[in-house]
Amino acid sequence: MSYPDFQPTLPCARALDAADPLHRFRSEFHFPPHAGGQAIYFCGNSLGLQPRRVADAVQVELKAWQDLAVGGYFGGTNPWLYYQDYCKQPLADIVGAQVQEVTVMNALTVNLHLMMLSFYRPTATRYKIMMEAGAFPSDQYAVETQVKHYGFDPADAIIEIAPRPGERLLRREDILDAIALHGDSLALTMFSGMNYYTGQLYDMAAITAAAHQAGALAGFDLAHVAGNVPVQLHEWDVDFAVWCSYKYLNAGPGAVGGVFVHEKHASNVQLGRLGGWWGNEEKTRFRMEKGFVPKADASGWCLSTSQVFNTVCLKASLELFAEAGMDRLRQKSIQLTAYLEFLLRQLNHLSFEIITPADPAERGAQLSLYFHEHGRQIHDKMIECGIIVDYREPGVIRVAPAPMYCSFEDVYRFYEILKEHF
């Protein structure tokens, strides 16, 4: 069933759930309780729900620590020495990478800095970074402080691409034209794959090709993409990407971050970087000698001992992604968000606009609803009614039905509450 057959009825929502091959994954998650039942959780773009299997997975490592102590690095079910490696294959599948192009370490903003240290190499004439206007604040701060670090003025060295006057979304051609226009001075394009506020998904393949054409490198922040929309980072020739694991990847607050470094760079051990012992060849790591020898893959950027308790929840959560498959998740997500959009369009007495692109190819799970007035009060009322969504000034309620655990019935119940209360 798809758009022409959608009905604003509970039987329709239940029929969609019955036909959904991923419906059973819902029972793999803890939902926050509400009024004797479960809340409707549309905030997986901010913090994904806890997979039920996480508690056991944590227990395994606690037990290894109890019983083996330092022996846990080499013994036990999952020797800690290799802990970062356990996430590589499932993450590579999620972001369209080869296994040696992916690693987990630190957290998103830290990794953004580490990647820029390797891939933002400003010269006197080629020193500018291009990003979207209204990028996530942490990304803005990271880029601002990087250019300052090299003695440049952010007002000159950062090129922000904004929507045209009166528009809310970036046009693909405007991004590509700007890259060509600034080509000679451009060192790096540093867009998010998807804007956190509007939910707009950018054409990463086209941005990367245009950056390369101009002689620049292309990096992406995939915080809102990883586990939401399938991407092909290797094939698109993206130079590097970073993401967090606590949004659509459901690995819990503060979970370890993810990094992609394209094979052509990852295999180059001469490439400059900041080093630490965990990025060093295992063969020589424990000789404790002078001379950093990075691993010839993305983990050559790791610095510290793997953060087992920051990674164990991701490891457990990724099992679910491997079972569900990104392609099936995306198929469901397109339909689930289309159903949400269809139901929202029935509520024409409410004064809001959906600022997220209408084309499914230009968005993921999230729809951003811009309320011309009373946005904050409407958000608070939703929370009171057991709908967990978030609010961003001025007036935007972000609604993100994550396909891993949200159902068509959730979307229908959301609509019913809106219809009844507003």
| Residue ranges binding ligand PLP (CB under 6 A) | 107-109, 136, 138-139, 192, 196, 221, 223-224, 244
Specify the residue, 224 or 262, whose C-beta has the smaller distance to ligand PLP.
224
Tokens standing for residue 410: 């959730």
Specify the residue, 185 or 228, whose C-beta has the smaller distance to ligand PLP.
228
Minimum distance from CB of 225 to ligand PLP (Å)?
9
Q: DSSP of 334-394, one letter per residue?
A: HHHHHHHHHHHTT-TTS-EEE-S-SSGGGB-S-EEEEESS-HHHHHHHHHHTTEE-EEETT
Q: What are the φ/ψ torsions at residue 11 (nearest 5 degrees)?
A: -60, -35
Minimum distance from CB of 69 to ligand PLP (Å)?
31
Specify the residue, 185 or 366, whose C-beta has the smaller distance to ligand PLP.
366
Minimum distance from CB of 118 to ligand PLP (Å)?
18
Minimum distance from CB of 58 to ligand PLP (Å)?
20
Report the C-alpha gap between 389 and 334 in whole angstroms: 19
Specify the residue, 378 or 400, whose C-beta has the smaller distance to ligand PLP.
400
Specify the residue, 134 or 294, whose C-beta has the smaller distance to ligand PLP.
134
> Which residues lie closer than 8 Å to 24 by C-beta, 6 or more apart?
none
Specify the residue, 87 or 107, whose C-beta has the smaller distance to ligand PLP.
107
What ranges make up the beta strands (E) of 6-100?
A: 29-30, 33-34, 37-38, 40-41, 50-51
Q: How many CB atoms lie within 10 A of CB 189?
A: 29
Provide the pairing of β-strand 40-41 with 387-388. parallel
Minimum distance from CB of 37 to ligand PLP (Å)?
29
Tokens standing for residue 183: 């080509």
Q: What are the φ/ψ torsions at residue 193 (nearest 5 degrees)?
A: -70, -35
Minimum distance from CB of 190 to ligand PLP (Å)?
11
Q: DSSP of 392-403, one letter per residue?
A: ETTTEEEEB--T
Minimum distance from CB of 232 to ligand PLP (Å)?
20
Answer for the pair 392, 399: CB distance below 8 angstroms, yes or no.
no
Specify the residue, 98 or 138, whose C-beta has the smaller distance to ligand PLP.
138
Minimum distance from CB of 168 to ligand PLP (Å)?
17
Specify the residue, 192 or 407, whose C-beta has the smaller distance to ligand PLP.
192
Report the C-alpha gap between 110 and 39 in whole angstroms: 33
